[in-house]
Amino acid sequence: MDQTSRIAPPSPEIASLAQQRLAALATPAGALGRVGEIGAWVAAAQGEVPPRPLTDVRLVVFAGDHGVAAHGVSAYPAAVTEAMVRTIVAGQAGVSALAREHGVRVSVLDVAVDADLTDLPADVTARKVRRGSGAIHLEDALTRDEVERSLALGAEVAGEHVDDGAQLLMTGDLGIGNTTPAAALVAAVLGLPADEVTGRGTGIDDDGWARKRDVVAAALARTEGRAEDPVDLLAALGSADLAAAVGFLVESSSRGVPVLLDGLMSVACAVVAQAIAPGAAAWWVAGHRSTEPAQAHALKSLGLEPLLDVGMRLGEGSGAVAALPVLRSGVAVLRDVALLSDILPG
């Protein structure tokens, strides 16, 4: 995927009409807060006022393993990635429960899990790029060809969902150790030191945090000067699953379908996607504030303020799914609240 031309935002004219309708509702000015604002954003993204109900919402979980997991950066062994792919397929993961509650269709893709999952359905396994990725403080995560394949894979998946009628998309992540490359990507793009982006991921202790910070610092030092080319940056510091999510975000935005972002991995990929396709961020809304410090930096750079701040750090797309009712509430008020002019005596 080559760097694309700037992506146009949702219709400014529709956005203005949506704001006018919001201001005309039989509610005090500003009383709906961000619920009203997000409803207007959905209307602009859909191109109509009032917006249509969000009945077709889909989450794609991109799964992959990370070479850094063998270097003490996580509280869990890499084998958990395979186990959790199987758990999502079985509908028993954390995000599975949330998705059932909120009517979200979930799919999981084995992009780079370091295991043989060929006993699972082909729609899970057929697009695998490789097993695992390089330990980014020692070597590149991927070859450039693997990055290109991963970007194309993500774009293809997004296009399939758009063509099938998806109104709103979400990206989820699954992979032990994945907050380390995600933090490194954010640091490289934004020019931040390892200390400012390294978080505790799955819940590592102080020694684990220090090891993780040192891995991020070494990775940044090893790849210094490579942030200008987003594709090369993904090869240096990313992974196949993260690159696939980047391709998914670029394609969704270019096709005019909004995306509800999740936690650190989703937002780190968004920072890279915005570098590839400037303007894409206008099609995204941040679902929640992760406990990971790199996510806060990334959100600020994208100009996004998360809808929820409830201390979540599960991944899997769970924070995006949990935030979906806020979007649906915004749609509902723009559709169903009376206009002040209609209820006041003539």
Query: What DSSP element (H or E) covers 250?
Result: helix 240-254
Q: Are residues 260 and 315 in the same domain?
A: yes
233 domain residue, yes or no: yes
Question: Residues 109, 161: contact at Cβ < 8 Å?
Answer: no
Q: Are residues 285 and 237 in the same domain?
A: yes
13 is an active site residue? no
Quick check: helix, strand or coil at residue 222? helix
Per residue in 99-143, pLDDT (tens digit) is 999 999 999 999 999 999 999 999 999 999 999 999 999 999 999
CATH number at residue 233: 3.40.50.10210
Q: Are residues 201 and 284 in the same domain?
A: yes
CA dihedral 282, 286, 292, 298 (to 10 degrees): 10
Q: Is the pLDDT of residue 212 over 60?
A: yes
* pLDDT of 202: 83
24 domain residue, yes or no: yes
Q: Are residues 141 and 286 in the same domain?
A: yes
Per residue in 25-81, pLDDT (tens digit) is 999 999 999 999 999 999 999 999 999 999 999 999 999 999 999 999 999 999 999
Residues 227, 228, 234, CA angle at the centre, nearest 5°? 50
Distance between CA atoms of residues 321 and 319, nearest Å: 5
257 domain residue, yes or no: yes
Per residue in 248-288, pLDDT (tens digit) is 999 999 999 999 999 999 999 999 999 999 999 999 999 99
Q: Are residues 67 and 30 in the same domain?
A: no
* pLDDT of 345: 81
Q: Is the pLDDT of residue 2 over 60?
A: no
* pLDDT of 22: 98
Q: Are residues 93 and 46 in the same domain?
A: no
Distance between CA atoms of residues 66 and 219, nearest Å: 13
Q: Are residues 34 and 169 in the same domain?
A: no
Tokens describing residue 74 = 């996580």
CA atoms within 13 A on the CB side of 54: 34
Range of the domain at 202: 57-324
Closest among 148, 170, 66, 149 to 113, alpha carbons compared:
66
Distance between CA atoms of residues 42 and 44, nearest Å: 5
Query: Is 300 buried (19+), middle (13-18) or exposed (0-12) by CB count in 10 A?
Result: exposed
Tokens describing residue 224 = 């210094």
Quick check: helix, strand or coil at residue 183? helix
Q: Is the dihedral of CA 252, 256, 261, 267 positive or negative?
A: positive
Q: Are residues 163 and 99 in the same domain?
A: yes
Distance between CA atoms of residues 248 and 231, nearest Å: 14
Strand partners, 169: 58, 259
Q: Are residues 126 and 268 in the same domain?
A: yes
Strand partners, 284: 259
pLDDT interval class at 1 (50, 70, 90): low
4 domain residue, yes or no: no
6 domain residue, yes or no: no
Distance between CA atoms of residues 124 and 118, nearest Å: 9
Strand partners, 172: 61
* pLDDT of 4: 58
For 123-142, letters b (16+ CB in 10 Å) and e give ebbebbbbebbbbbbeebbb
Overall domain count for the chain: 2
25 domain residue, yes or no: yes
CATH number at residue 46: 1.10.1610
Lateral strand order in the sheet of 104-112: 104-112, 57-64, 168-174, 259-261, 284-286
Distance between CA atoms of residues 106 and 99, nearest Å: 7
Per residue in 141-165, pLDDT (tens digit) is 999 999 999 999 999 999 999 999 9
Q: Residue 86: phi, psi to the nearest 5? A: -65, -35
With a CB cutoff of 8 Å and minimum separation 6, the contacts of 15 are 40, 41, 43, 44
Q: Is the pLDDT of residue 5 over 90?
A: no
With a CB cutoff of 8 Å and minimum separation 6, the contacts of 344 are none
Q: Are residues 150 and 39 in the same domain?
A: no
User: What is the average per-residue pLDDT within 294-308?
Assistant: 97
234 domain residue, yes or no: yes
3 domain residue, yes or no: no
Spot the catalytic one: 146, 148, 292, 316. 316
Q: Are residues 24 and 72 in the same domain?
A: no
Q: Are residues 206 and 257 in the same domain?
A: yes
Per residue in 177-192, pLDDT (tens digit) is 999 999 999 999 999 9
